[in-house]
Structure 1
């Protein structure tokens, strides 16, 4: 548990601290309430942002 908020430079850096070893944050983190990895969620966000309105 962190005593204060901390912004990591990458999802992998955050995953490495939590797991105590090198870790691919793009596949380690999962979106709560959905069956998506961070990588899948990020790709979805980018495709929605680029879709014509």
Structure 2
């Protein structure tokens, strides 16, 4: 299971944009990847795919 798939599942299970953004930031910060570029890429990927 890839990180992108895990994040997509998280995004798909959320009902609000605010909740999705909060969880994306929280997961990235916990994994030590909380820099601006990775946050932007993940947010774009999540909302485009979802």
Where relative contact order (Cα < 8 A, 6+ residues apart) is larger, the structure is 2
More helix by share: 2
Q: Which structure has the greater CA radius of gyration?
A: 1
The alignment's TM-score, normalised by the length of structure 2, stands at: 0.33
